[in-house]
C-alpha cells in the first residue's frame, strides 16, 4: 500500500507540474516591430509592404496584415499613425486580397485571452466608429459577450482603452462611417490600422481544472495518510 500511495502521489504531482509548464499566463503589448524587415520586403496579391500574420504571437489573425512603417505608405492615409515612431504596425483588409475575411483575432489550441485596448486609426475614412466585439468559448451566436465602440479617424492615432474583455477566444473588428466621400474610398476604404495591442494570454479552460483536481487529490491523499497513521498509533497504544 505505501508503494501505491507513493505512486499516486507522484502521478498527481506530475499532473500539477505539467499544467504549470504547458499553460503559461503572460501579458504582452503586441507591437509588430519584429516583422518590419519581413513586411517591407513582402508582397501579397499585388500589395507591397504587406505581410499576412498567420500564427503571429501565438494567435490566429484573419483579415489582418503587418506593414513596415519604413516601407511604402500611401500618402494622405492614416496608415502611419498607430505606433508612430515604431518599426511596424498592422491593418485590416476589407477586400479580396485577404479573401473578404472578417477581421478577427482568435486563440489557438483552446486557450483564451484578455484584451484591454490598443492604438487605432482608419486608413481613409473620417467620422468613423470602431467596434470591438469579444466572444467567449462556446458562443456561436452573432451576439458578442463584450462590445466596445470608439470614434477614430485618419488624421491621427486614437488610444482605445478603459475596458477589459476577459476570457475570450475571438476578437472581431468592424468599422462604420458617415463620410463616404473620404479620399480613395473604395474596396479598401474601411481598413482599420492598429498597434500596441494589450493582450494577456490565459490558461486553457481545462488546464485550471486539471491543476485544481491535482491539488485536491493530493490533499485527500495527505489527509488519508494522516488519519491512517493516527488509527495505527491508537491500535498500538501510542498517543
Percent of the chain scored above 90 by pLDDT? 53
Show me where the domains of the chain are located.
Answer: 2-19+206-235, 25-202
Q: What is the dihedral of CA 29, 31, 32, 37, to 10 degrees?
A: -140
State residue 110's pLDDT score.
87
| Confidence band for 126, pLDDT divided at 50, 70 and 90 | confident
Region 139-156: what's the mean pLDDT? Answer: 96
Using the predicted structure, report yes or no on whether residue 140 has a pLDDT greater than 90.
yes
| Confidence band for 178, pLDDT divided at 50, 70 and 90 | confident
Higher per-residue pLDDT: 93 or 2: 93
- Whole-angstrom CA distances from 237 to 8, 168, 223, 224, 226 are 30, 59, 21, 20, 16
Task: Tell me how far apart the alpha carbons of residues 209 and 124 are, in angstroms, rounded to a whole number.
Answer: 47
Using the predicted structure, report yes or no on whether residue 143 has a pLDDT greater than 90.
yes
| Confidence band for 101, pLDDT divided at 50, 70 and 90 | confident
Task: Tell me how far apart the alpha carbons of residues 190 and 165 are, in angstroms, rounded to a whole number.
Answer: 24
Q: Which residues lie closer than 8 Å to 80 by C-beta, 6 or more apart?
A: 69, 73
At the top level of CATH, which class does the domain 25-202 belong to?
mainly beta
State residue 229's pLDDT score.
55
Using the predicted structure, report yes or no on whether residue 219 has a pLDDT greater than 70.
no
> Residue 231 belongs to what H/E stretch?
helix 205-235
Region 88-104: what's the mean pLDDT? Answer: 75
- Whole-angstrom CA distances from 8 to 105, 210, 212 are 41, 15, 16
State residue 157's pLDDT score.
97
Taking Cα atoms as reference points, which of 162, 167, 117, 121 lies closest to residue 144? 167
| Confidence band for 54, pLDDT divided at 50, 70 and 90 | confident
Do residues 121 and 152 touch, judged by C-beta distance below 8 A? yes
pTM (two decimals)? 0.74
Using the predicted structure, report yes or no on whether residue 186 has a pLDDT greater than 90.
no
Using the predicted structure, report yes or no on whether residue 153 has a pLDDT greater than 70.
yes
The conformation of residue 33, written as its DSSP 8-state character, comes to G
Per the document, the length of the chain is 239
Grid cell in block for residue 81: 499613425
| Confidence band for 224, pLDDT divided at 50, 70 and 90 | low
Amino acid at each position: 500500500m505505501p508503494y501505491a500511495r507513493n505512486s499516486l502521489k507522484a502521478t498527481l504531482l506530475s499532473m500539477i507540474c505539467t499544467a504549470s509548464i504547458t499553460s503559461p499566463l503572460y501579458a504582452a503589448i503586441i507591437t509588430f516591430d519584429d516583422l518590419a524587415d519581413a513586411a517591407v520586403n513582402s508582397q501579397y496579391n499585388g500589395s507591397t509592404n504587406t505581410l499576412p500574420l498567420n500564427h503571429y504571437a501565438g494567435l490566429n489573425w484573419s483579415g489582418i496584415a503587418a506593414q513596415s512603417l519604413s516601407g511604402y505608405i500611401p500618402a494622405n492615409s492614416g496608415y502611419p499613425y498607430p505606433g508612430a515612431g515604431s518599426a511596424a504596425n498592422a491593418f485590416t483588409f476589407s477586400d479580396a486580397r485577404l479573401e473578404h475575411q472578417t477581421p478577427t483575432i482568435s486563440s489557438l489550441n483552446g486557450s483564451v485571452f484578455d484584451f484591454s485596448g490598443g492604438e487605432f486609426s482608419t486608413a481613409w475614412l473620417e467620422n468613423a466608429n470602431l467596434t470591438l466585439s469579444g466572444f467567449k468559448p462556446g458562443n456561436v451566436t452573432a451576439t458578442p459577450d463584450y462590445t466596445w465602440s470608439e470614434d477614430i479617424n485618419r488624421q491621427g492615432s486614437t488610444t482605445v482603452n478603459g475596458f477589459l474583455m476577459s476570457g475570450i477566444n475571438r476578437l472581431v473588428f468592424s468599422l462604420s462611417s458617415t463620410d463616404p466621400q473620404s479620399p480613395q474610398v473604395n474596396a479598401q476604404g474601411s481598413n482599420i490600422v492598429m498597434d500596441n495591442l494589450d493582450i494577456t494570454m490565459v490558461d486553457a479552460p481545462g488546464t485550471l481544472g486539471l491543476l485544481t483536481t491535482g491539488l485536491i487529490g493530493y490533499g485527500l491523499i495527505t489527509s488519508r495518510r494522516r488519519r491512517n497513521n493516527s488509527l495505527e498509533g491508537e491500535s498500538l497504544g501510542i498517543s
